Amino acid sequence: MQPLAIRAYTATTALGRGRDAQADALRERRSGLRRNDFGKDPLDTWIGRVDGLEAAALPAAQAPWDCRNNRLAWLALQQDGVIDAVETLKRRHGADRIAVVLGTSTASIGATEEAYERLDAENRFPADLARPRVHTPHSLGGFVLEALRLDGPCVTVATACSSSAKVFAQASRLIDAGLADAALVGGVDTLCGSVLFGFNSLELVSAQPCRPFDAARNGLSLGEAGGFAVLERAAAGESGLQLRGYGESSDAHHMSAPHPEGLGAQLAMRDALARAGIDAAQVGYLNLHGTATPANDTIEAHAVAALFPSTLHASSTKGWTGHTLGAAGIVESVFALLALERGLLPGILNSGAPDPNNGPQIRFGNAEREIDYAMNNSFGFGGNNCSLVFGRA
């Protein structure tokens, strides 16, 4: 792949809005998790909730797209110069040459759930929610394309928790194939009954704030987030942050349990390193998928130990944000880019007793140092894996 310049990037999570809010909380080791206060009958768990979504509004012309997920999409787009970067690219290349590739796992399903709670006597959706396009997975992509007046290829990727990492790979291919000159990538997922009660049905939700890679970890904390990055072909000789490689694979094992030896995870990481043309030893920071479920973390730690030297600083940041599902890929890519840009290598929050299965790569404490490459792992249901490599030119 050609290196892609990152013209803008941002995340909005339970830690706040935009990059500085993320970096400050990571540096200060301040979690965004709170006791679950979502919905009318909350499960006993902790969540990463974004404040202010209930009062957020879409542009008047896009009011038919209104729902919690699209409100978070719009809020996240307002941060860190993303819209300005898109406008600049639109003038440079034309609106039809900018791809929109966004990831989500549940899209606007929260709006569908609400409609089912308020069905009328004929079992029909209430009038205020009888807006078909909100009740389908492409609600996110459709809204963003229209709100930003873009006209290029537009896709919503929905591969569960790897969704908004895979958008970087798909955008890279669209640009390499000449179908676009630039891309807006990212992802949004919001809290809803489907994920809270769904993960609860799998007995994967912890009653405490999640503790990734801790010996006594007992499940995940769910969160919501949105994030975006603006990608363009890098010019020869220019400096700045870049996407250098991606790797994708399948576990071929189980719908909701990872491959016991982490073979799929290893394949994705090896493929990303190969595409970036670097050795594992050159990676300075790896943001792990690290959901804090017993199986996931053991297998990921094993896969990382099989590939990387003990000098690698690897961590899961789920203790700060919760597991933001289809948005995890973009949020944790933003954390990897912050590590590259600011030399801020987060550790792990809430965890105190390392699992004896952890390799020396898994670090609980923060570190600060300059690095050349940062990597991000995102693994989803269906055994769907994606790893990304970012570098600095």
Partner 1 sequence: MLSASIEGIGFWSNGLPSWQAARDFARDGTLPEGAPARPSPQLLPPNERRRAPDTVAVALDVALAACQAAGRDPKTLPSVFASTHGDLGITDYMAATLASDPRAISPIRFHNSVHNAAAGYWTIGAGCMAPTTAISSFDASFAQGLLEALAQLAAGSEAVLLVGYDSAATGALTSVWSSTGLLGGALLLSAPRSGALRLGASLAAGEPPPARGPLARRAGGNAMAPMLPLFDALALDAPHTADSVILKAGPGRVLRVELADA
Residue nearer to partner 1 on the CB measure, 111 or 305: 111
Q: How many CB atoms lie within 10 A of CB 51?
A: 12
Known active-site residue 161:
yes
Burial of residue 132 (CB within 10 Å: 0-12, 13-18, 19+) is exposed
Which of the residues 259, 289, 302, 313 is marked catalytic? 289
> Which of 62, 88, 200, 357 touches partner 1 by CB under 8 A?
200
- How many residues bind partner 1 (CB under 8 A)? The answer is 69
> Which of 57, 116, 128, 311 touches partner 1 by CB under 8 A?
116
> Which of 6, 145, 283, 303 touches partner 1 by CB under 8 A?
145
Q: Note whether 73 and 100 are within 8 A (CB).
A: no
Residue 311 touching partner 1 (CB under 8 A): no
> Which of 384, 388, 390, 391 touches partner 1 by CB under 8 A?
384
Site string for partner 1, 37-66 (x = CB under 8 A): ----x-------------------------
CA nearest 195: which of 170, 168, 167, 163?
Answer: 163
Residue 261 touching partner 1 (CB under 8 A): no
* Dihedral Cα 135, 39, 209, 137, nearest 10 deg: 0
**Nearest-angstrom CA–CA distance, 325 and 160:** 7
**Nearest-angstrom CA–CA distance, 162 and 167:** 9
Residue 177 touching partner 1 (CB under 8 A): yes
Which own/partner contact pairs does 192-198 have at CB distance under 8 Å and 24+ positions apart? 192/68, 192/106, 192/109, 192/110, 192/113, 193/39, 193/110, 193/113, 194/106, 194/109, 194/110, 194/113, 195/105, 195/106, 195/222, 195/325, 196/36, 196/38, 196/39, 196/43, 196/45, 196/47, 196/222, 197/43
Structure tokens at 316: 């899961």
CA distances from 112 to 55, 181, 223 (A): 20, 35, 19
Least separation, in Å, of the C-beta of 196 and partner 1?
Answer: 8
**Nearest-angstrom CA–CA distance, 321 and 223:** 6
Known active-site residue 254:
no
Known active-site residue 93:
no
Residue 274 touching partner 1 (CB under 8 A): no
Residue nearer to partner 1 on the CB measure, 146 or 341: 146
Residue 368 touching partner 1 (CB under 8 A): no
Least separation, in Å, of the C-beta of 116 and partner 1?
Answer: 4
> Which of 80, 251, 297, 355 touches partner 1 by CB under 8 A?
251
> Which of 63, 202, 216, 274 touches partner 1 by CB under 8 A?
202
Residue nearer to partner 1 on the CB measure, 21 or 147: 147
Q: How many CB atoms lie within 10 A of CB 306?
A: 16
Catalytic residues, by residue number, are 161, 289, 323
Chain residues in the site for partner 1 (CB under 8 A): 1, 41, 96, 105, 109, 112-113, 115-117, 119, 123-125, 130-133, 135-138, 141-142, 145-146, 151, 153-160, 166, 170, 173-174, 176-179, 193-194, 197-203, 248-256, 263-264, 267, 380-384
